[in-house]
Amino acid sequence: MGKNNTGRDWTQIYAIYGMEEWQTLVILLFQALLFSFLSILFLFYFNPIVSTFSTLFSSSLPFFAPRFIAGFTGSVTALSAVCLFFAAGNIFYSSVSLHWEMAQRMVNVVNDWSTVKTALDIGCGRGILLNAVALQLKKEGSSGRVVGLDSRRKKSTLTTLQTAKIEGVQEYVTCREGDARHLPFSDSYFDVVLSGVFLHTVGKEFGHKTAAAAAERMKGLVEVVRVLKDGGVGILWDLVHVPEYVQRLQELRMEDIRVSERVTAFMVSSHIVSFRKPCQHVLRHGEVRVDWRCHNMC
């Protein structure tokens, strides 16, 4: 993998942030090794296996069938091992190096971070995206701050703050615990709201493909819009459900909705969706409020 386009070596990134999906990686590697072992057994003991199949199915199958079944089973076993190794590698890459690279792409969506005073990272995890924003604020000499929101235990928050300290941006970072469906912030609070491969997990307790889960994800998206200031920018890198987000953002009359090219992450398609909250809001039927300070900025 080597260095990514930000000049950071993936080993450095892994050393700082570790890997949140390590349980999945271990399971995949175990299964890959198991299938590799079985495929080697098929290779070295092919003739005895054919003889066994011949004994078991001699009366019901043609004479060539046992050899075909043994060969087919061995091939599928070997192919399964290759696929499992590939899946493990993709998850490792997606969790570490790709995550950092996509964080840089998300940061680059904002043209001028020097004007950003408040930013929010929803589902900050160990802080890859959170710290990428903080590093950009530091680079611009901004007085802004970025808040990382996570729904997990206090121990996770301490881990996130530790990575910020290692990156030298602890003074730019604050962590809070909360639910993405009910963000603990007032309306129009943030200049920028970001989220990296998190929104698709909202409502997962209802099953990823159910209408109830989709409704919960949309609650999270509406909350993103709610806490954005007029003229603020929302940036989401997420999996599978991006068309739903785009449709809902259009219904909410967001502006400059853009979808990046497809990137394979965690073995599925992912995209970055960015948008801007308009500088005017419809309050009631036919009634429009314009924030002229925002209008002048747009």
Measured CA to CA in angstroms, residue 128 lies from 59, 93, 164, 224, 275 at distances of: 62, 14, 9, 19, 21
Asked if the model's pLDDT at residue 5 lies above 50, the reply is: no
Can you say how many angstroms the Cα of residue 271 is from the centroid of all Cα atoms in its chain? 9
**To the nearest 5 percent, what fractions of the chain are helix, strand and coil?**
55, 20, 25
Q: Give the range among 63-67, 132-136, 154-158 with minimum mean pLDDT.
A: 154-158
Question: pLDDT for 167-194, tens place per residue?
Answer: 999 999 999 989 999 999 999 999 999 9
E strand intervals along 207-295: 228-239, 255-259, 263-265, 268-276, 280-284, 287-290
Amino acid occupying residue 160: T
E strand intervals along the chain: 118-122, 145-150, 173-177, 190-196, 228-239, 255-259, 263-265, 268-276, 280-284, 287-290
**Cβ distance 163 to 66 under 8 Å?**
no
The answer to whether the Cα torsion of 229, 261, 17, 24 is positive or negative is positive
Mean pLDDT across 34-61: 84
pTM of the model: 0.82
Query: Distance (Å, rounded) from C-alpha 219 to C-alpha 222?
Result: 5
Cβ density class 59-68: b for 16+ within 10 Å, e for less: eeeeeeebbe
Higher pLDDT, 203 or 291: 203
**Cβ distance 173 to 130 under 8 Å?**
yes
